[in-house]
């Protein structure tokens, strides 16, 4: 049973997940980002241990065999995984976690922690998504084509998710994501201990 909010935020590359997560993190100190492990090459301004823990294929395989991952998946030819230690560490600190992961990871985390909250971020349409990917200019033309093809499939996975946030207007999308987080903080399973203690004294 999850001991804090596990807020999974998924959506195609370029949909604005990272900016949405950053905005939420800024105004909610209890919420921390789950830093994943990846075999992908570091991009220009990414800091090891902040954006990702960058590891080589051998290290990733070793961690996988040692069952260090709560979930892992291959995305666009690279491996990405969430360490179980990161999740348990956050709970130990009394923190909630936000995950910027793909749909395969969302599926695995929901299986392992059914109380996790899974959010799908969708673009208003595919033209907008393509524009955003091109303006980001961190990926090659081939990468953009691969990511666009993957986007349609990723969005078709919507039955896995509890909530869908349309990112047409950024501020509005932040507001909606924030409401989902606040509501998740008040789900019954996170309030049971407190209620049982209160009732213990009177029943
Ligand atoms: P990027 O390479 O653009 O940072 O991320 C590519 C994709 O991998 C994104 O959809 C991102 O959400 C996903 N991703 C990042 N970390 C993880 C992870 O730990 N597990 C899974 N399953 N996907 C991840």
Tokens of 173: 């999308």
Q: Are 1 and 189 in contact (CB under 8 A)?
A: yes
Give the whole-angstrom CA distance, residue 98 versus residue 106: 12
Q: Are 117 and 172 in contact (CB under 8 A)?
A: no
- Looking up tokens 């590359």 gives 13
The answer as to CATH 3.40.50.300 being correct for domain 6-202 is yes
Q: 13: Cβ below 6 Å to ligand 1?
A: yes
201 C-alpha to ligand 1 centroid (Å): 46
User: In terms of pTM, does the model score above 0.85?
Assistant: yes
Tokens of 122: 């969708």
Give the whole-angstrom CA distance, residue 85 versus residue 153: 30
Q: 154: Cβ below 6 Å to ligand 1?
A: no
Q: 96: Cβ below 6 Å to ligand 1?
A: no
DSSP H or E run through 60: helix 57-65
193 C-alpha to ligand 1 centroid (Å): 33
Q: What is the pLDDT along the chain (203 residues), one digit of tens a residue?
A: 778 999 999 999 889 999 999 999 999 999 999 999 999 999 999 999 999 999 999 999 999 999 999 999 998 889 999 999 999 999 889 899 999 999 999 999 999 999 999 999 999 999 999 999 888 767 788 888 888 898 999 999 999 999 999 999 999 999 999 999 999 999 999 999 999 999 996 55
């Amino acid at each position: 049973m999850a001991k804090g909010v596990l807020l999974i935020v998924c959506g195609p590359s370029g949909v604005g997940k990272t900016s949405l997560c950053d905005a939420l993190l800024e105004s909610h100190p209890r919420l921390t980002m789950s830093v994943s492990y990846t075999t992908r090459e570091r991009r220009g301004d990414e800091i090891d241990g902040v954006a990702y823990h960058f590891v080589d294929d051998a290290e990733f395989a070793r961690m996988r065999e040692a069952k260090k991952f709560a979930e892992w998946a291959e995305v666009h030819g690279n491996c990405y995984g969430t360490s179980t230690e990161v999740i348990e560490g956050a709970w130990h600190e009394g923190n909630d976690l936000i995950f910027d992961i793909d749909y395969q990871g969302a599926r695995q985390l929901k299986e392992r922690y059914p109380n996790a909250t899974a959010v799908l971020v969708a673009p208003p349409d595919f033209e907008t998504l393509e524009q955003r990917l091109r303006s980001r200019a961190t990926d090659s033309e081939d990468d953009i084509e691969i990511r666009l093809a993957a986007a349609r499939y990723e969005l078709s996975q919507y039955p896995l998710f509890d909530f869908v946030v349309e990112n047409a207007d950024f501020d509005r999308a932040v507001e909606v994501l924030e409401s989902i987080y606040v509501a998740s903080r008040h789900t019954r399973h996170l309030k049971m201990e407190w209620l049982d203690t209160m009732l213990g004294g009177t029943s």
